Amino acid sequence: MLNIVLFGPPGAGKGTQAERIKNQYSLIHLSTGDIFRYNIKESTDLGVMAKEFMDKGELVPDQVTIKMLESEVNKHPESSGFIFDGFPRTTQQAKALDDFLSSKNLSITKMIALEVPNDELISRLFLRGKQSGRADDQDKSIIANRIKVYENQTAVLAEYYKAQNKLATVNGVGSVDEITRRLYRSIDI
């Protein structure tokens, strides 16, 4: 079973690349950002709560996010693996994911970190904001806060997986196709 964490700052291309990796390796793609956005669109209780944090560029609280992720994994008992996109984002989430998978005799195979400089992240997200109308991509101060939250709370997870010998890094600058090829090479090693 192949279980991949696709990691990187906001706008690194996790969502874009996860769509391709999912098809190539027949994995279930779980994007916590997409699940929250679906709940916001449907005005569920979870969506109303998550919106308050996402609109400010803050993380949704761990307890809620972990519970939601576990319930999504449990919906796919027959899957041949998962690609986790945007999760984990805190040390508490990473530990909870390890414990949860190990209770099912599963584990993370590899964490792949997409590396992209901040100026490129900001221009990608701002462009998407103009094209898609996504609220958290339209304001440069919210984008800057998301990058700050990533640096303060999420970046440390690279060390967490490195200590388990599971970290791989991939240059996330270039065409989408080029980056996909780099990711496949990293997975196939």
Q: Which of 33, 97, 112, 187 binds ligand B4P (CB under 6 A)?
A: 33
Active-site residue, 67 included: no
Q: How would you classify residue 90: left for phi > 0, otherwise alpha for psi between -120 and 50, otherwise beta?
A: beta
Within 59-88, the residues that bind ligand B4P by CB under 6 A are 59-60, 65, 86-87
Q: Are the beta carbons of 68 and 32 closer than 8 angstroms?
A: yes
Order of strands across the sheet with 2-7? 28-31, 81-85, 2-7, 110-115, 167-171
Kindly tell me which of 15 and 81 has the beta carbon lying closer to ligand B4P.
15
DSSP 136: G
Instruction: Pick the closest to residue 116 from 184, 44, 20, 182 (CA basis).
Output: 182
Active-site residue, 20 included: no
Q: How big is the site for ligand B4P, counted in residues (CB under 6 A)?
A: 27
Query: How many residues in the chain?
Result: 189
Active-site residue, 146 included: yes
Q: Which of 21, 27, 32, 157 binds ligand B4P (CB under 6 A)?
A: 32
Instruction: Output the smallest distance, CB 122 to ligand B4P, in A.
Output: 11
- Contact flag: residue 53 with ligand B4P (CB under 6 A): yes
- Contact flag: residue 89 with ligand B4P (CB under 6 A): yes
Instruction: Output the smallest distance, CB 32 to ligand B4P, in A.
Output: 3
Indicate which residue of 20, 56, 95, 134 is catalytic: 134
Active-site residue, 128 included: yes
- Using alpha carbons only, give the angle 72, 16, 75 rounded to the nearest 5 degrees: 10
Indicate which residue of 20, 56, 95, 128 is catalytic: 128
Q: Which residues contact 148 (CB under 8 A, 6 or more apart)?
A: none
DSSP per-residue letters across 31-49 = EHHHHHHHHHHTT-HHHHH
- Contact flag: residue 54 with ligand B4P (CB under 6 A): yes
Q: CA-to-CA distance for 174 and 155, rounded, in angstroms?
A: 22
Residues of this chain that bind ligand B4P (CB under 6 A): 8, 10-16, 32-33, 36, 53-54, 57, 59-60, 65, 86-87, 89, 93, 124, 128, 136, 146, 176, 179
Active site residues: 14, 89, 128, 134, 146
